[in-house]
Chain A
Amino acid sequence: GAGVSQTPSNKVTEKGKYVELRCDPISGHTALYWYRQSLGQGPEFLIYFQGTGAADDSGLPNDRFFAVRPEGSVSTLKIQRTERGDSAVYLCASSLGGNPDTQYFGPGTRLTVL
């Protein structure tokens, strides 16, 4: 079946602009995760959804970052007033929701803030 998909693949924006990054999880996966991978680093956890609710948002760096998953499937990561330091690859993963359950990753969105 289809894996995790993320759109857009690449996003270039200007400092101060608002961006939305989309994640389509594997069908039937109740858990969804967002990670941020800066150049030369491993992914860092941002937020985890179980169903529609954010079960753990401890990794969001500040209040410019927000994520939603209104129907328990697709999720959108929203970044307001983007800064150059937000440039990174944003990875989404989904799982069936057990613990621990294998997290299946998407190809990521590369965000570049000029």
Chain B
Amino acid sequence: AQTVTQSQPEMSVQEAETVTLSCTYDTSESNYYLFWYKQPPSRQMILVIRQEAYKQQNATENRFSVNFQKAAKSFSLKISDSQLGDTAMYFCAFMKYNTDKLIFGTGTRLQVFP
């Protein structure tokens, strides 16, 4: 079975600074997808970024980028130029190829301070 581990329950960062959220996963699959979702207090999960395991290049979306280390089964999220609106829970998630089931970690609560 696949598992996703987020070892940082809480993180904080000052506005305009950079922060990195950690995620590791365990799987015997070779084809899969990885995601970072953001959940603000409104509860609505929002996709931040996704990575296909077969792609060596790290995904980027504006201020968000990932460091995908397939051999180490690590998938960290870097947020640059942090903004107050980035304050939220962040969940790392895994999806096996040819399935539609997301497996989530326990989340990291990020607080951005002015």
Contact = CB atoms under 8 A, between A and B. Distances in A.
Contacts of A91: 43, 45
Given A100-B33, A100-B95, A102-B47, A45 B102 contact: yes
Q: Give chain A's interface residue range (CB within 8 Å of chain B).
A: 20 to 34
B45 A105 contact: yes
Interface in B56-114: 91, 93, 95, 97-107
Nearest to A97: B100
A25 interface: no
A44 interface: yes
Contacts of B95: 100
A93 interface: yes
A90 B18 CA distance: 33
B44 interface: yes
Contact of B43 (A42, A89, A93, A95): A89
Contacts of B37: 105
A107 B43 contact: yes
Interface of B: 4, 33, 37, 42-47, 50, 91, 93, 95, 97-107
Interface of A: 3, 31, 33, 35, 40-45, 48, 55-56, 58-59, 89, 91, 93, 95, 99-108, 110
For the complex of A and B, list the 8 residue pairs with the smallest distance between their C-beta atoms, beginning with the closest. Answer: A42-B104, A105-B45, A45-B101, A108-B43, A100-B33, A107-B44, A107-B43, A42-B91
